[in-house]
Structure formats: structure tokens, C-alpha cells
Chain A
Amino acid sequence: MKFTLSWLKSHLETDATLDQIVEALTDLGLEVEGVEDRGARLAEFTIGYVASAEKHPDADRLRVCQVNTDEGQKQIICGAPNAREGITVVVAKPGVYVPGIDTTIGIGKIRGIESFGMMASEKELELSDEHDGIIELPSGTVGDRFVDWLAAHDPAKIDPVIEIAITPNRPDALGVRGVARDLAARGLGKMKPRDVDPVPASFKPEMTVHIDEDTLDGNPLFCGRLIKGVKNGPSPDWMQDLIRAIGLRPINFLVDVTNFFTYDLNRPLHVFDADKVHGNLRVHRAVGGEELVALDGKTYAFQPGQMVISDENGPESIAGIMGGEDTGCTDETVNVFVESAYWDPVQIAYAGRALKINSDARYRFERGVDPAFTPEGLEHAVRMIVDQAGGEASEMIVAGAVPDTRRAYQLQPARVRSLVGMEISESEQRQTLTALGFRLEGDMAHVPSWRPDVQGEADLVEEVARIASLTKLEGKPLPRMAGIPKAVMTPMQRREQMARRTSAALGYNECVTYSFIDRTSAALFGGGDDATMLENPISQDMSHMRPALLPGLLQAAARNQARGFMDMALFEVGPAFHGGEPEEQHLLVSGLLIGRTGQKDVHGASRAVDLFDVKADAEAVLSAMGAPAKVQIMRGAEEWWHPGRHGKICLGPKKVLGVFGELHPKVLDAMDVKGPAMAFTLWPGEIPMPRKSGASRGAMQVSDLQPVERDFAFVVDAEVAALDLVNAAAGADKALIKDVRVFDEFIGGSLGDGKKSLAITVRLEPSDATLTDKEIDTVADKVVAKVTKATGGVLRG
């Protein structure tokens, strides 16, 4: 919402400075987004006097002028027809930027003769569209700044333009008068009266307006007056200046009047060229499919139920949103029908959204225009039209009636203290509400018709506090909970934190990638179905909710590889989506390792990353999240893993805590990642919650007796899992055997195809007495027997 300072002052009598006004507006909740000082861009133009003007020897239409300026007499070549001796002009000297032609003036030669500047037209200074000649000033001293002359003689031209953001609850502030009312209530001035002197009716109009019964809820009131014999054309300068200042384009007087009152009093109007309207007007609901070419030149098709204004020929206006081109007013219009109607905000909002029209009328009607002001707004417009363009006005046509918006709420002065925490006297509260247009009867505050947002007692409090200024609010300590605050994070939130910090400690860099990815990438990871599809993605790259974190991390990896970074460890902790319902979201932790363990180094420590890196990392992160140490490693995870190089970390066949492994080369290929790539994905929610057993660790069991380690090497079939062998060995004597570790794997060679050797260390920790050789041999025999039974392995000779 834009307006000029003098426009505001046409409603508000005030001595306040621009700065004070701007500060107050923002504080009142009418946030100032910008103040345009229109004088600033004209600051360098000065006043000159044309001492002589002679025809250019080589060009009939150019004149060589000697112009008196603050820097002495300058020669300026000018092509304007009115460039002549004895006029006072506006000079742009070399180096001055001219906004209207987006050019900085230089010294130039025009047909062989030097020119030291330019004399400007109004259009070149963006003061108007006038470009028939250069500006001729009726007064002015050579060398004075033009902007100072304007300030003294035509201030509207450089009036500061204030732009404010209006929150959706304040339609009343969509008119300059509403803005003035807030400032007056704040104490920044006094409202100027704006009473209308209605134009007396000269005749009974021949046309009628009818609102269909089923449309009255959307259009309770329609007023109009026919004016015959107007002389349309360009608006007077003051109006053109205002309309231009707020970023609109003057069209013709009748149209400009509607725009003026839209902004001045938040009263959108529409003008029909009465000679183009056939028969009577009817406000009704569209059957569906009717079409109309609107004032923006575009054709719109109505959906069933949308409100339309039609004449005998069919639709002529999109009710409350935009008029039709056929019946629009042009310079030639002599008979005009002025419409002032009230449209239901909800219906306008839905229709505007469906038709995708953003007009000033829709914007205002969907927020709420003052319904009671409908007839008076019309009178204002008719008065202005007749005064300026002449003509005779008809009686007012009124269809429907002013909707009843009367309501009152109890003013409880103590609520300001209890809800806001400010001390404001009852009399000041009443005074504030009165200044805003509320009518107080006892303790009941009657809401003015222009404030649809006020719907309860809390709104009265809000108004009082807002006008008093929240800046004055003093903070008051929030009562503390008794004692030391308890921990506030849930076990899952702790897991999330531990997963993050452990991954980072392991060398991974945390990423936060978008929750939506392209369908192809989603499909590679089991997603991409319609349930997880966005209806209105901002691009095809972000069309589906991610089924996993890995596709986003792989895309990140591809981007980093493209930048020349080939070694990386990335991780993310965040939600993934297995459906489109709120509960179909689950937390994941994923890590991705690509390239080498580090940069090539003098110690030769760097090597290509492999599956056992991610396995160790996955186990470390799981352990940090509280997963039990004893897990099963199974195969058969999803198809985006390398079929032979991955493992599922499980507690039983159905309880999968995580997967680690190498990603399938085809997936990497599809995602433009140079592999191989190792990854893990963990499901923190699958880790069983620990049983509440207090913080105690239990007693430490250690023995002073010497432990014994014995090594064994078994030849087994190549596909025997090491873990099975280890478990078998560990089961040989659960009391004595504390640990079994694989320390060597040897495949092929003298063992032959399909065989491998696994070497293990078995650690025995006696608890009663030092082990004898015999006892050790007995356990060793049991280990061999168990392993052989479980894996078919034989002791390597």
C-alpha cells in the first residue's frame, strides 16, 4: 500500500515530521517498507535561462542555445520545438543522470557543434508523460536547484511516497483515511472531516439492477448511479500525480476516479460505459463455462457458482474482482454507470484464487471493505465526477441492503494488564477506542463497520495496546520452575544428538539436504510413488518426498566431485517418508564414504575406503545411540546395495537396526557419482529402549589369574561366515572363553578353490585357579569340535 505524504495530510491535520510519521506507522503495526524521496533523483538539476537560440546551421529542427546556468553561459543544442530565447528551463549539466531516459549526460557534438548539457522535458524527469517540449518554468532564478523550485511551487511532484505492509487483518488501512485514523488515535494529529455533498438526482434511471436470490449472500448490497453527459479524458494533474506516485498508470478520468477511491477510502468502484451496457444488470451465479474478456485483456471462463454481473448480452464483469473490457470506459464515454457494491470476502477470495486474478478490488474485498460505507462511497465518486467532468446524475439504484455487522464486546480494562502486562487507565482505553471509531455504551464497545477483524474482547485489548505502543511494554520475568530444571530432551532426541556428534567425531561432515528430490532418484531408493508426490513442486528436481537420506547425500557427493573433491565422508540425520500421511515419517541416520580414507600422505596411511570402514562407523554410531553390542549380521537388504557387499545389523530376522555396505554401481551410475561408495543407514527408532535400571553399572568382575590366548586356523568353505565360526568357538566353554577374535583370513592359494582359512584367537580367563595345560587342551579340543560341527571347518595342518 503506497501513498504520498500530502495525500495522508489531506486526511490528517498534523505537525508531525515525516520521520515521526514513519516511526509511528511501523510501531502501530503498519510496517513501513520504504519511503521514496522523489526529490532525490532530481537533486542535480538546476534552473537555467535561455539567453539566445539560433537555428543549427546543419539541422532545421535543432537550435543552438546559449543558456545561463550557475556555471556561466553554456552552449546546449536542443531539438524541442519550444526551445527559444527568453524561457526559464531545467538544465542537466554533463555528468548528471537523467532518470526518464536512463542516461548520464556527457559533452557531445551534434552535427558538428558542441553541446554542454541538456534541457529536460517532464517525461525525462519522470514528472509526467509530457514530452512535446522542454519544461518552461513560469519563475525561477538561474542556478537554483530545480527540486527546490518544485518544493515551493508544485510540491506534489516531489512528495515523499510511503509504502506500508498491511497485515491481512487490517483492510481499513488499505485506504489512506484508515491510516490517518490510526495516526490520529496515536496522537499524531487530528482527522479532517470528509463529508460528502451528494449530487442531487436529476432523473430516474431507465436501467435496473437485480441480485439473484442465491447470490444475496455473496452480494448483499449493490448501489449505482447513472451519470449522463460527462466529458471524459485525462485526469487533472493533481490526480495524475497521485496515481503515478503510487505506481499506477493514469488511464482516463473515470477510471482514475475508481482507482483514487480504492486507495483513498478503501472503496473499490467500477465504472461501466452505460452506452455499451445492454438492458438491465443482473448479479447472479455462473452456470459454468461462460466467458468474459476482462479489463486486463485476458479471457476468463467462469466456474459454476462464481458471481457475475451480466446484461442482456451476457457477462460484463467478474463481480468484485475485475470489470469487462467491452463495457469499460474510454475517453469517448459520455454516459457512465458507477457501481459501488459490497462483496463477501470468502467468496471473492475463492473466486479470485480460482481465476488467478490479483486485482486491487479482489485484494480489498477479500480482506473486507466497509459494507456500511457502500452508498456514501458512491456519492463521493459521483460528486467528484460531476464536479470535474460535468453531467447529470440519476437517482441511486439500490439492490439488496447494507448487511448488519453490528456487534459489541465488553471492555474489561483489567484485561490489558493481565493479557499484555501494561498499565493503561480506563479513560485512556476508552479514548483510544473512541478515536478508532468504536462507540462506547457503558462498558460495551460497539465495533465500527470498517473493522471486520475485531471479533472479541481480546481484540479490544490488542487495539488499546497497539495504539499505546508495545515499545513501552516492560519485560517481566517468567516465573521459574521450582528447583533445578529437569532434562528436556526425549530419549529419541538424545539418540539423534548422539548420532550426530558421534558421526562428526568419526570424521563425517553433516549435511542438511532438501526433504524433496526428483522422482528418478527417489525411485532408485524405493520411493517416487504418487503418495509421496508434491502437487505443486517448485521444480521437477524437487517433486517427491525422499524415501531415504542416501539419494540426497549422493547428489551432494556428485556436486562435490564436480568441484574436484573426490574424498569425502558425509552424513545426515533427518526424516524420510514412506507415505504421504503425517505418521508416515521416520528418522534415519545415513553416512556416505567415497574415495580414500584421507589425502595421499607421506606415511602411506591413506587407502581406498571399504566396507569395513562403514561397518565400524555404523557400529560406533549404533553403540552411541544405545544399541546392544550383540547383533546379527544378515544379508538380503534392498536392491540399492551391492548384492555381495552389504550387511544388515539385526536383532533377530525382523528387527533391522541398520544396513552398511557398498552401494550398487548402477545406482551410482544413475546418480553421476564416481564410485565405489560405502554407506550406512541406521534406524534410531528401532533400537530397543533401555530398561529403566538406574545409572548403576553393576560391579566390575575381574580376576587376577593369568589369562591364556590360543590361536587356531580353520580351513572352511569360502562362503562360511566368520561370525558363525566365532560364535561356535565362543560357545565351546561359555565360562572360560571371554573373547574370540578373527585375526586372519586367507583365500585360495594352496587351499584350492572355494576354500579359505580363518585364524582366530581364543582368550580364556579363569576365575578360580590358574589353568593347567590339560585344562587348556580340553577347551581347545572343544573349540575345534564346535567349529567343525557348526561350519564343517577343519584345523589347518
Chain B
Amino acid sequence: MDDLRDKYLGLIAGAADEAGLEDLRVQAVGKKGEISLKMRELGKMTPEERQTAGPALNALKDEINSALAAKKAGLADAALDERLRTEWLDVTLPGRGRGQGTLHPIAQVTEEVTAIFAELGFSVAEGPRIDTDWYNFDALNIPGHHPARAEMDTFYMHRAEGDNRPPHVLRTHTSPVQIRSMEKMGAPMRIICPGGVYRADYDQTHTPMFHQVEGLAIDKDLSMANLKWVLEEFVKAFFEVDGGVELRFRASHFPFTEPSAEVDIRCSWEDGTVKVGEGDDWLEILGSGMVHPKVLQAGGIDPTEWQGFAFGMGIDRIAMLKYGIPDLRAFFDSDLRWLRHYGFSALDVPTLHGGLSR
């Protein structure tokens, strides 16, 4: 019986493949296999003989079955190893591409500004790009003869023959939205109005269309000191500069505010690159002031009861400053290289809890 065991264990160990293994199985433990035949002979034995031969044969059968199973698994592993060896790929080849889109800096920065002012309770108001000269000028205390009208390089819409209304304008600033919002919402109110504006000017630093965001807060007792705080907080949050950004308020004049101030931020210029928050230079970034009583009146708000502040700044301009974008004209050229370089990822939603920029 030991011969039988040695014979089959040897043969199993030497089996080359699963087919050979199956032949061995049939030969050894199949219905007519050598060990099965031996088991059949048990009946002819004496009870004493059977008592020793029975368990021995059973043990031999189990041993051979185990050896078969182990060898089968070993062969399968070897076959898998062999297959995997042939399945080698050059993993340095590029992955399957997926187009990467981008958001324009104007959209991104508008959302950044919105996130900051939302925290202060300012909602987002909008108005038309083509507007009447009343909303764009008169209501903002810029009468027809005012030099500011000529200085604004206004685009006028064509008027049909016989239509004697004053021509509509492409809004020269987002300020008309102040008036429209006052009419709609009344006091108290806090709004920002982002959007495109137009001036007939095209050179190195001017494009005939650009973007502004206007802010307006009206209440019983808002003062210019509140305005300054809001702008200080805004600039600190927007530019994300450690240690904050110093502001300088300068007296100035806008027809729609009184008193008026232009606001500069501290910056440095090096090799044509501007760095916000450090250095000895000042850069003008916005105009602001207390809303002129005539403007409140034009918006249907009683200036003896309410007062407030307003400010306006260039979205493209603060985008250029924050993200180091050199040329305004390129904003509107749609050069794919520019869009990819300066654009923002779809999932880069600016929030105050997650940070405005990466």
C-alpha cells in the first residue's frame, strides 16, 4: 500500500497540467481507479484484515485527493502567473484624457466678492446693460451739462428717426442699478451689483467693456466710518494677505456721493508686478462715499430719514491684482492658452469656510 501511495504522490507532483492531473485522478481514485478497486476488495477480507486495511485505504484516498487538490491549485496559480506575465502594459503611456474646462476669472472673482459681501448681508442685484440716460446719469446727480458726462466716454444707442427721446446709453457704470434697486426694495437695504459696463475707450489699459461691482448700504445711521470698515474687511478677505492690507482714504468727488473718497491700497511694484499689502506705493482701487441726498431722492428714498454709503470697483482690475494677470485686453480675447492658464476649475467654488482661492 505504501508503494501505491508513493507511486501516486510522485505522479501527482510531476503532473504537468490539469488534464494530466485529471487522468491521474481517474487512474487512482476514479470509479475504476486502482484505489477504488482495492476498496472493493475489502469485502473479500476477513473482519480482522478489514479492520486495519479499511482505515488505511480511506486515509490513502484522502491523502491522494488532498494532493490532487493542492497540485490543482498550484497549477492554476502557475497558469495565472504565466498569464499575468504576458499581460504587461507600458504604464508610462498617458491615461485616457478627459477635457478640462475652466471658469473665466471675471466669473470666479465675482463669486469671491459675492461670498464676502453675502457674509455682511449684501444681496446681489442686477440691472440692464442698455439703460436710459436718466438711470445712468440724471438720477445719479449728473445733469446733461455735467462735465462728467463728457468725461465718461459714453456709448449711445442709435435713435430711430422721429423718436425724440434722449438716446439710451450702454451703462457707463453699475451705479444705475443702485437707483433701480432703491425703487424696488426701498430702505433699509444692502446690495452689491456686479456686471459689465461700457466706455468708448480702447488702449493698453482700457477696453470698451469691463466689469464693475457696486455696493450700496442704506440705513438710519450708517456713516463713512462704517464704509471704511466694510472696505477694510473686504480688502483683507479678498486679497487673502496675511497681516491685512492698509487702506488710504482720499477726499475726491463723484456726483452721486458726498462726501466722496477714493481708496488706495498699499502695494509694491517690482519689475512691473504689483504686490498687495506691502511696499511704499499706493494703488487706487475704488471710489466711494456717502450717497448724495439727491440720489436717494431719485430712488424714492427720503434723505431726511435715511442715509447710506456706496462704492464701486473694477472686477477685472481686482482680478488682475490678485491673480497677477498683466493685460486687461486679454480678458476678452478668448485665447485658449489664456483661458487655461488664468481660468479656474469647475469645482473651485469660492467660499468663506473653505477659502476663496487655492
User: Taking beta carbons and an 8 Å cutoff, which residues of A are in contact with B?
Assistant: 26-29, 31, 167-170, 345-346, 349-350, 353, 366-367, 417-422, 453, 456, 458-459, 461-462, 465-466, 469-471, 473-481, 485, 487-490, 493, 497, 500-516, 530-539, 542, 545, 553, 556, 559-560, 563, 565, 568-571, 573-575, 577, 580-585, 597-599, 601-603, 605-606
CB of A512 within 8 A of CB of B104, answer yes
Chain A residues with Cβ under 8 A from B135's Cβ? 582
CB of B101 within 8 A of CB of A28, answer no
Instruction: Indicate whether A597 sits within 8 Å of B99 (C-beta atoms), given known contacts A168-B146, A465-B251, A478-B217.
Output: yes
Instruction: Indicate whether A421 sits within 8 Å of B332 (C-beta atoms), given known contacts A31-B250, A350-B145.
Output: no
CB of A602 within 8 A of CB of B94, answer yes
Chain B residues with Cβ under 8 A from A575's Cβ? 129, 196
Shortest C-beta distance, A599 to chain B (Å), equals 7
Interface SS of chain B: mixed
CB of B101 within 8 A of CB of A569, answer yes
Chain A residues with Cβ under 8 A from B286's Cβ? none
CB of A559 within 8 A of CB of B258, answer no
Q: Mark B211-236, 1 if CB is under 8 A from A, else 0.
A: 00000010101111110111110000
Shortest C-beta distance, B104 to chain A (Å), equals 4
Across the interface, name the chain B residue whose C-beta is closest to A165. Answer: B252
CB of A466 within 8 A of CB of B118, answer no
Shortest C-beta distance, B274 to chain A (Å), equals 19
CA distance A511 to B144 in the complex (A): 36
Could you say which of B127, B128, B160, B200 contacts A536, with CB atoms under 8 Å apart?
B200
Cβ of B209 within 8 Å of any chain A Cβ, yes or no, is: yes
CB of A599 within 8 A of CB of B340, answer no
CA distance A511 to B158 in the complex (A): 27
Q: Which of B228-248 contact A (CB under 8 A)?
A: 228-232, 248
Q: Which of B303-354 contact A (CB under 8 A)?
A: 307, 331-337, 339-340, 343-347, 349
Of B7-15, B37-45, B61-69, B147-155, which binds chain A?
B147-155
Q: A-B pairs with the 8 shortest C-beta distances?
A: A507-B99, A421-B225, A475-B229, A556-B334, A29-B251, A167-B253, A421-B223, A504-B101
CB of B104 within 8 A of CB of A476, answer no
CB of A510 within 8 A of CB of B102, answer yes
Could you say which of A27, A456, A478 contacts B251, with CB atoms under 8 Å apart?
A27
A and B contact pairs by CB, cutoff 8 A, 15 listed = A420-B259, A458-B290, A461-B258, A466-B251, A476-B225, A476-B226, A476-B228, A478-B226, A488-B114, A489-B114, A508-B99, A510-B101, A537-B155, A538-B200, A597-B99
Across the interface, name the chain B residue whose C-beta is closest to A556. Answer: B334
CB of B251 within 8 A of CB of A461, answer no
CB of B124 within 8 A of CB of A493, answer yes
CA distance A502 to B347 in the complex (A): 9
Given A31-B252, A582-B135; 16 other pairs, CB 8 A cutoff: A168-B255, A169-B253, A471-B248, A473-B228, A474-B228, A478-B222, A489-B123, A493-B126, A510-B104, A512-B334, A513-B334, A515-B129, A534-B158, A535-B156, A582-B131, A598-B99
Q: Which of B87-118 contact A (CB under 8 A)?
A: 93-94, 96-104, 106-107, 111, 114, 117-118
Could you say which of A475, A506, A533, A542 contacts B99, with CB atoms under 8 Å apart?
A506
Could you say which of A511, A514, A577, A601 contacts B209, with CB atoms under 8 Å apart?
A514
Shortest C-beta distance, A8 to chain B (Å), equals 19
CA distance A485 to B117 in the complex (A): 10
Chain A residues with Cβ under 8 A from B200's Cβ? 536, 538
CB of B232 within 8 A of CB of A475, answer yes
CA distance A29 to B289 in the complex (A): 13
CB of A475 within 8 A of CB of B120, answer no
CB of A513 within 8 A of CB of B332, answer yes
How many cross-chain pairs have Cβ atoms below 8 Å apart between A and B?
Answer: 278
Shortest C-beta distance, B336 to chain A (Å), equals 5
CB of A568 within 8 A of CB of B251, answer no
Q: Mark B260-280, 1 if CB is under 8 A from A, else 0.
A: 111000000000000000000
Q: Which of A31, A422, A510 has the most B CB atoms < 10 Å from its CB?
A: A510
CB of B132 within 8 A of CB of A582, answer yes
Shortest C-beta distance, B133 to chain A (Å), equals 11
CB of A580 within 8 A of CB of B225, answer no
Chain B residues with Cβ under 8 A from A497's Cβ? 111
Cβ of B33 within 8 Å of any chain A Cβ, yes or no, is: no
User: Taking beta carbons and an 8 Å cutoff, which residues of B are in contact with A?
Assistant: 93-94, 96-104, 106-107, 111, 114, 117-124, 126-132, 135, 144-148, 150-151, 155-160, 167-168, 170, 196, 198, 200-202, 208-209, 217, 219, 221-226, 228-232, 248-253, 255, 258-262, 290, 292-293, 307, 331-337, 339-340, 343-347, 349
Chain B residues with Cβ under 8 A from A513's Cβ? 332, 334
CB of A559 within 8 A of CB of B334, answer yes
Instruction: Indicate whether A535 sits within 8 Å of B158 (C-beta atoms), given known contacts A485-B121, A504-B345.
Output: yes
Instruction: Indicate whether A601 sits within 8 Å of B145 (C-beta atoms), given known contacts A420-B290, A475-B225, A476-B223.
Output: no
Across the interface, name the chain A residue whose C-beta is closest to B284. Answer: A31
CB of A480 within 8 A of CB of B103, answer no
Chain A residues with Cβ under 8 A from B259's Cβ? 419-420, 458, 461-462, 465-466, 470
Chain A residues with Cβ under 8 A from B117's Cβ? 488
Could you say which of B120, B290, B336, B343 contacts A478, with CB atoms under 8 Å apart?
B120
CA distance A533 to B130 in the complex (A): 11
CA distance A581 to B160 in the complex (A): 12
Could you say which of B98, B103, B209, B335 contacts A501, with CB atoms under 8 Å apart?
B103
CB of B339 within 8 A of CB of A511, answer yes
CA distance A167 to B167 in the complex (A): 26
CB of A502 within 8 A of CB of B229, answer no
Instruction: Indicate whether A584 sits within 8 Å of B130 (C-beta atoms), given known contacts A349-B147, A478-B229, A536-B200.
Output: yes
Chain A residues with Cβ under 8 A from B198's Cβ? 515
Across the interface, name the chain B residue whose C-beta is closest to A465. Answer: B259
Chain B residues with Cβ under 8 A from A501's Cβ? 103, 346-347, 349
CB of B128 within 8 A of CB of A507, answer no
CA distance A290 to B129 in the complex (A): 41
Could you say which of B101, B248, B261 contacts A507, with CB atoms under 8 Å apart?
B101
Shortest C-beta distance, B32 to chain A (Å), equals 44
CB of A459 within 8 A of CB of B96, answer no
Could you say which of A349, A505, A534 contacts B157, with CB atoms under 8 Å apart?
A534
Across the interface, name the chain B residue whose C-beta is closest to A577. Answer: B130
Chain A residues with Cβ under 8 A from B132's Cβ? 582
Across the interface, name the chain B residue whose C-beta is closest to A605. Answer: B96
CB of A478 within 8 A of CB of B250, answer no
Could you say which of B121, B144, B293, B335 contacts A481, with CB atoms under 8 Å apart?
B121
Shortest C-beta distance, A196 to chain B (Å), equals 30
Instruction: Indicate whether A510 sits within 8 Å of B223 (C-beta atoms), given known contacts A533-B157, A534-B157, A581-B130.
Output: no
Shortest C-beta distance, A553 to chain B (Å), equals 8
Q: Which of B120, B168, B219 has the most A CB atoms < 10 Å from its CB?
A: B120
Shortest C-beta distance, A1 to chain B (Å), equals 14
Shortest C-beta distance, A587 to chain B (Å), equals 10
CB of B334 within 8 A of CB of A462, answer no
Shortest C-beta distance, B164 to chain A (Å), equals 14
Shortest C-beta distance, B191 to chain A (Å), equals 9
CB of A585 within 8 A of CB of B128, answer yes
Chain A residues with Cβ under 8 A from B155's Cβ? 534-537
CB of B101 within 8 A of CB of A509, answer yes
Chain B residues with Cβ under 8 A from A489's Cβ? 114, 123-124
Chain B residues with Cβ under 8 A from A573's Cβ? 107
Chain B residues with Cβ under 8 A from A563's Cβ? 335-337
Chain B residues with Cβ under 8 A from A487's Cβ? 118
Chain A residues with Cβ under 8 A from B335's Cβ? 559-560, 563
Across the interface, name the chain A residue whose C-beta is closest to B219. Answer: A479
CB of A514 within 8 A of CB of B103, answer no
Q: Which of B93, B98, B259, B335 has the most A CB atoms < 10 Å from its CB?
A: B259
Shortest C-beta distance, A123 to chain B (Å), equals 33
CB of A542 within 8 A of CB of B258, answer no
CA distance A458 to B308 in the complex (A): 13
CB of B293 within 8 A of CB of A456, answer yes
CA distance A513 to B170 in the complex (A): 16
Chain A residues with Cβ under 8 A from B98's Cβ? 507
Could you say which of A31, A366, A509, A515 contacts B147, with CB atoms under 8 Å apart?
A366
